[in-house]
Amino acid sequence: MTNLNEWVFILGNFGFPVVVAGYLLIRFEKKIEVLTAVINELKNTLTKKDKR
């Protein structure tokens, strides 16, 4: 029974924060990819205007 209590303690203390951190990293990764694409598009647009 002690082994089960230890696992519940470990999961409760470390599992939840790890899951939340992973979820946030996945969400932020998608937003960072979108921002990167927009920045690259802006850079290309500005480069084209400079060449004119």
Q: What is the pLDDT along the chain (52 residues), one digit of tens a residue?
A: 568 788 778 778 888 787 788 788 888 998 999 999 999 999 999 998 887 6
3-state secondary structure 20-48: HHHHHHHHHHHHHHHHHHHHHHHHHHHHH
Q: Which amino acid is at 21?
A: A
Q: pTM for this structure?
A: 0.54
